[in-house]
Amino acid sequence: MKKTLYYTDHYEILLPVGHKFPMAKYRMVREALQRSDAARLHFEPAPLASAEVIELTHDAEYVRQFLGGTLSALAMRRIGFPWSEELVGRTLASVGATLCATTEALATGWGGTLAGGTHHAFRAEGSGFCVFNDIAVSICDAFSRGMVERAAVIDCDVHQGDGTAQIFEHDARVFTVSIHSKTNFPFRKQQSKLDIDLPDGAGDETYLCALDHALPQVYAFDPQVIIYQAGVDGLAGDTLGHLKLSHAGLRERDRRIFEAARARGVPIVVTIGGGYSIPVGPTVEAHANTYRAAADVFCI
């Protein structure tokens, strides 16, 4: 049976020339997977999340101002995108994709979105290319609907998941893990339930040892769903990363995470996270490999 992945590249944001954010990667990842894995994966455009669901996590006034285009110029600079109707559509679709993927995971064991992982968004402000925190929204929605009582976040982006950490800092129902570069953005770190700071230049062996340290603590928490922020910006040569992971190391990271979830019967949701290689080809390949790894483990 094919697994559905939800995508958002039907919404395009026009960014200034030279902007750091690789918007084209989302379409390129989908197209790469359609070429290589059409027998295992099905692709659907993500629906738009409602403001009401987003407000389970985010401050209602912040949500209203963003949707209406009345956030201050300073707030938009902190997010890193110019406001537009297209940005609103893509943002709502990104959250909608993770909501759909979470429902799919709880029903079938795993779900995926070719977007999301916007872990720098706080309750009442955005940051670092993140407007709303799709990870947190999906967890809060699952709680509100009585679908789960405990959730875990495994954040493997090279940048700490600071927004997610702060949103759930005092919530005993959520175990947040962030494995990230110590010296990289955000420079003011928040407190996850488990933070693993890696030194500049850390490679595959160091990274996988850190992951092996984290995974038993995740499962000791006994989560009923896991949200996996599968950033690939730890790849050697990434323009916004300080680590030196190889493609093989990232594939092994993904395999260990997926096999652990499958062995324990814990549903897992895959979000795309960061990746900023120039040219973008290595980032696209690394992201596509994550979904191939999931299909290898679950689509059997």
> How many CA atoms, within 13 angstroms, populate the side-chain half-sphere of residue 263?
9
Whether residue 4 contacts residue 43, with contact meaning beta carbons closer than 8 Å, is answered with: yes
CA distance 131 to 119: 9
Span 55-82, pLDDT tens digits? 999 999 999 999 999 999 999 999 999 9
Span 108-145, pLDDT tens digits? 999 999 999 999 999 999 999 999 999 999 999 999 99
Which H, E and C letters describe 167-209, residue by residue? HCCCCCCEEEEEEEECCCCCCCCCCCCEEEEECCCCCHHHHHH
Active site (catalytic) residues: 120
pLDDT bucket at 300, cuts 50 / 70 / 90: confident
Mean pLDDT rounded to a whole number for the chain: 97
Average pLDDT estimate for 40-56: 98
Q: How many CB atoms lie within 10 A of CB 224?
A: 15
Span 196-246, pLDDT tens digits? 999 999 999 999 999 999 999 999 999 999 999 999 999 999 999 999 999
Residue 263 structure tokens = 């062995």
pTM recorded for the entire structure: 0.97
